[in-house]
Amino acid sequence: MTESDVLILYAQTSFERVDKFISSNVDDITRSYVKKLIKAGNVKIDGTIASPSSSVTLGQSIEIIIDDDEIGDIEPEEISIDVVYEDDDIIIVNKPAGLIVHPGAGHKSGTLVNALLARYPEIIDVGPGFRPGIIHRLDKDTSGLLVVAKNIKAHANISQQIADRSVTKIYTTLVRGHMASSEVLIEAPIARDPQNRKKMAVVEKGKYALTGVKVIDHFKEFDLLEIKLFTGRTHQIRVHLESVGLPIVGDASYGIQHTAIDRQFLHSCYLGFNHPSFDTPIEFNSDLPYDLQTFLDSIRER
Active site residues: 139
With beta carbons less than 8 A apart as the criterion, state whether 10 and 62 touch. yes
Q: Read off the DSSP letter of residue 53.
A: T
Q: Which of 63, 11, 71 is nearest to 41 (CA)?
A: 63
User: Measuring CA to CA, which residue among 1, 131, 9 is closest to residue 62?
Assistant: 9
The sign one gets for the Cα dihedral 24, 27, 33, 39 is negative
Rounded-to-integer distance, Cα 296 and Cα 294, Å: 5
Distance CA 205, CA 201 (A): 11
Cβ atoms of 124 and 68 closer than 8 Å:
no
Tell me the three state secondary structure of residue 249.
strand
* Residue 192, helix vs strand vs coil: strand
